[in-house]
Amino acid sequence: MPSAIKSQGQEAAEDHIAAVQSAGGPFVTAAEHTRMPMLFSDPNLPGNPIVYANDSFLALTGYEREEVLGKSYHFLMGAETEPDAREQIDEFFRSGFYESCPEVRYYHKDGSAFWAIVFIGPVLDERGHVAQHFVSFVDVTVRRREERRLRLLLNELNHRTQNTLATVQAIAIQTLSGVADAGAVEAFENRILALSEAHRLLGLENWEGAYLRVVIAAILEPFGLEEGRANRFTIAGDEVLLPPKIALTLAMVFQELATNAVKYGALQNDTGHVDISWQAEPSQWDERLQITWNESGGPPVSPPTHSGFGSQLIEGGLARELKGAVSLNYEPTGVVCQIVMPLPSAARSREAMNSPLPERRVLLIEDEMIVAGMLRRMLIDLGYQVVGTATAVDEAIKMLDDASIDAAVLDINLDGQMSYKVADELTSRGIPFVFSTGYGVDGLPEGYKATQILKKPFRRSGLGDALASLLAKHHANGAMAAGPGG
């Protein structure tokens, strides 16, 4: 059979490979024996072609050595590889420094996909010039599959937990109806709903935690925080990410305090007010979180004659659960509850604690004008500034150039055109966003499947939770990236 015709690049690479191996340098010697897939390339040849591939790389990809030599590093990429991966890797080569590239989707010879972290570094000659590049691959496909499986299991767990709580609610109401005081039945039902809401918030964050501000907003929504009573509340404090156990406990506490305020306190009349504030403070051994619930303007308050479930929960169970101290005082002017608890080290960084709160300028991208008008009203009611409403991809990108934006709400389908180009632009500019859609997550490109989604039709509380969490995370990440003095 006639031999296959080889490209000039491959011929040059094969001529060069013998010299590379015969030189017996430490990098080549190590590469020949390591189990880590590795490649070498020559930046002095056009296109920086691959001049060496070890056996581990060939075993990983399924290619023969002669199929690899002379190729570009990008030959393993395919249609679903992240759009910016190629440029990012090229930039690492140009920088001349040791770099690692985030996980990249590559393809075996048989067309199946695998995921790898790519490490790129220069090999310098005696004059300090880059003589070669070496690239090593860490196959993370098994881990990615396991993460996907765990996400599916977690989603199923969240679903079953909500169903269980709904079943408990139904059984209790039907059992107690007609035989128990209606107020007691309502109180029990509200406690179940508060617990369910806390579980929902934690589920949105894969049970990594929930932001204190988001927990408070969700629990107080039924008490009018998002409706006509919004001016009855003042909420102020740092962005604090609570661990799941603490988030669940505090959700129940705020439920009890708000219920008591409606029955006997500041929310019983039309003039009362509730101030909720918190701050992180250093102590001798750690940081402590101090939370204050302060009622004023309601009817005169006197201490209760007996201790009910709510006060027992707050004064007894809460202190044990939070490993802190709780004081519940019935001042004549209104109830004051103070909570002091250790602040878990993973809850937030000191940089985030000392940083200003995130801005609230939002770009709305939605092609249905009726829906856009509703969203605009919701955003304004939630305290956001809507800097503009775009109905098409090009219009949205132009608005990004013309306005200062802190976040965006992005409809996936804009009059039949998918809006991923806008999503790419937002990502490249470091602007956080949420997708709004009637679709599910399965139809999203791989790179955006972790993006938070608002499902149509909307709830004001869902929109508020999503944006509050989004901006808090973005703000905390920015503070950590800046580092000390950044």
CA angle at 353 for the pair 253 and 453, rounded to the nearest 5°: 70
Residue type, 409: V
Question: Does pLDDT of 369 surpass 70?
Answer: no
Model confidence pLDDT, tens digit, residues 91-112: 777 765 555 566 889 999 999 9
How far is CA 46 from its chain centroid? 42
Q: What pLDDT is attached to residue 440?
A: 58
Average model confidence (pLDDT) across the chain: 77
Contacts 24+ apart (CB under 8 A), 119-127: 120/89, 120/92, 120/93, 121/97, 122/96, 122/97, 122/98, 123/25, 123/27, 123/40
Q: Which is higher by pLDDT, 441 or 280?
A: 280
Could you give the domains of the chain? 8-139 (3.30.450.20), 144-354 (3.30.565.10), 361-479 (3.40.50.2300)
Whether 74 and 28 have beta carbons less than 8 Å apart is answered as no
Model confidence pLDDT, tens digit, residues 127-165: 877 788 888 888 888 888 887 887 777 777 767 777 777
Expressed in angstroms, the distance from the first to the final Cα of the chain is 65
Model confidence pLDDT, tens digit, residues 415-443: 778 889 999 999 998 899 998 876 655 66
| Residues in contact with 407: Cβ distance below 8 Å, sequence separation at least 6, in sequence order | 360, 361, 362, 363, 431, 432, 433, 434, 467, 470, 471, 474
Q: What pLDDT is attached to residue 282?
A: 67
Q: Which is higher by pLDDT, 253 or 442?
A: 253
Greatest alpha-carbon span in the chain: 101
CA 108, CA 103: separation in Å to the nearest integer?
A: 16
Tally of CA atoms within 13 A in the half-sphere of 361 that contains its CB: 10
52, β-bridge pairs? 40
Which pLDDT band holds residue 476 (cuts at 50, 70, 90)? low
How far is CA 317 from its chain centroid? 31
Burial (CB count within 10 angstroms: exposed 0-12, middle 13-18, buried 19+), residue 182: exposed
